[in-house]
Amino acid sequence: MESEASNWKKTKQPRSKDPIFHPGFYSELPLLLTKVEGAYLEDGKSLSNWDVFCHSIGCAEGGDNGDIADDHYHMFMEDIEAMHSLGLDAYRFSISWARILPRGRFGEVNPAGIKFYNKIIDNLILRGIEPFVTINHNDLPQELEDRYGSWLNAEMQEDFLYLAEVCFKSFGDRVKYWVTINEPNMYIELAFEQGVFPPSRCSEPFGNCVYGNSDVEPLVAMHNMLLAHGRAAKLYHEEFQPKQGGLIGLVAHCFMFEPITDSELDREAAKRAFAFSVGWPLDPAIFGEYPEEMQKYLGSKLPSFSLEEKKFMKNSIDFIGINHYSALYAKDCTTSSCSATGNRAIQGFVDRVGEHDGVLIGERTGLEYLFVVPRGMEEIVNLIKTRYNNTPMFITENGYSSPDLQEQRVNELVNDVKRVEFHTSYLASLAKSMREGADVRGYFVWSLMDSYEWLEGYNVRFGLYYVDRQTLTRIPKLSARWYKNFLTNNSLVIDKNASRTKRLFTKDVM
């Protein structure tokens, strides 16, 4: 399919010595506006599910919330200038549903919300930065939860379709890259299985919630979410893409699962872990069906697509978004003793663990479930390439979380050598898969600046910029300098034999 977006891509100029990073291979940064935007009740925005969740029961240690966050709502021009100074090609951000449709389809479009995102989009384009827009990333107007239970009700499909249509009409003349929903697999697991995200629904052994059924509700919620994606993609492909010339995709959270032993049972467990995680949203979006492994182990609990739904779900995406941070071991639970949660059909009878015989799969990060495993990038991209016929891919998130230790001073936080090492090693791994033919179109660093990280609040930091929580001043870290140099061909790999300071800015290539 020839589109305005693909024509634009071909005109981009190469900025890397490595031919793998070809003209049009985007170097980008994402920000989830719910996590940086703030202004939670300004200019007509309504309460979102996260606003209510954080204000009622507290969603992060210490009572942190996103009321102000990084105040991107008022400081977006400064942030766009930072992106421009780094030399970025594109910027991935998400729309706050409650800002542009405070009451969903039960109220009016908020003109102040539309104006805000128009200003962001126009100023990005003015500086040669391509807007890469996610329509929904976890947050939604609380009214939709109160009215009918949000994603547990098929009505949510209508609300999402309306949201998508408003976005296409308002921004599609300039936005050429759309993501319908970010990480539906991760969101559903945390919100309806473990119950740690709103609406906090779960059951034992996954959690102790007031309401919920962890064995069934995740399947129902995901089914509605996928149908919402499919219907929005159908609308875009039929009514907007021919005129606007953009592309639309879906983003999945993608752990790489490695068998914990070389046994056949554990190798099969690793395949099931992928199917029950990554395949859960991507198989329907490309093949129009849930993975065979899910159908086998879940049986009648797994919702099915009608013939009409299969038709519009199949090939409903123009690209796959891969959010990859880490790898985990997969252990078979069909014949072995496992954890209470691993020994469940909803998990595919697989335990997902980070260590084997007391040895971690990789170095720990600021989040206990994420480890530094660079080989996982090459492995997950190759696996997705093979399973999905090398559908075009973007690495839509990849980043390193460092803990916010109280004894650390600002100069220690900004001298983030481990973050530089992380991105250098993961980019080298990505380049290997690209040399083997993976159709990867771009790479996003998560994230531009330290932000509100959901349940972790401000206690872990992914940003290239440090944000002073008192003044909200953005201070570039060592990783920001490194990334700028990387984009201008001054830095690509770390020479392990050089001093730490010198090796961050070599002129080597992969």
Catalytically active residues, by annotation: 183, 397
- Sequence-ordered alpha helix ranges (H) in 149-191: 155-171, 184-188
Name the residue among 61, 173, 68 with its Cα closest to residue 114. Answer: 173
- The rounded distance, in Å, linking the Cα atoms of 104 and 108 is 8
Cβ-Cβ contacts under 8 Å for 356 (sequence gap 6 or more): 260, 261, 329
- The rounded distance, in Å, linking the Cα atoms of 34 and 44 is 15
- The rounded distance, in Å, linking the Cα atoms of 474 and 463 is 10
Is residue 67 a contact partner of residue 37, using CB atoms and an 8 Å limit? Answer: no
- The rounded distance, in Å, linking the Cα atoms of 462 and 454 is 13
Is residue 279 a contact partner of residue 294, using CB atoms and an 8 Å limit? Answer: yes
Burial class (CB in 10 A: 0-12, 13-18, 19+), 238: exposed
Mapped onto helix, strand or coil, the DSSP state of residue 314 is coil
- The rounded distance, in Å, linking the Cα atoms of 265 and 214 is 25
How far is the CA of 475 from the CAs of 86, 402, 478, 498, in angstroms?
13, 16, 10, 27
Cα Rg of the chain (Å, integer): 22
Is residue 131 a contact partner of residue 202, using CB atoms and an 8 Å limit? Answer: no
What one-letter code names the amino acid at 112?
A: A
Is residue 306 a contact partner of residue 354, using CB atoms and an 8 Å limit? Answer: no
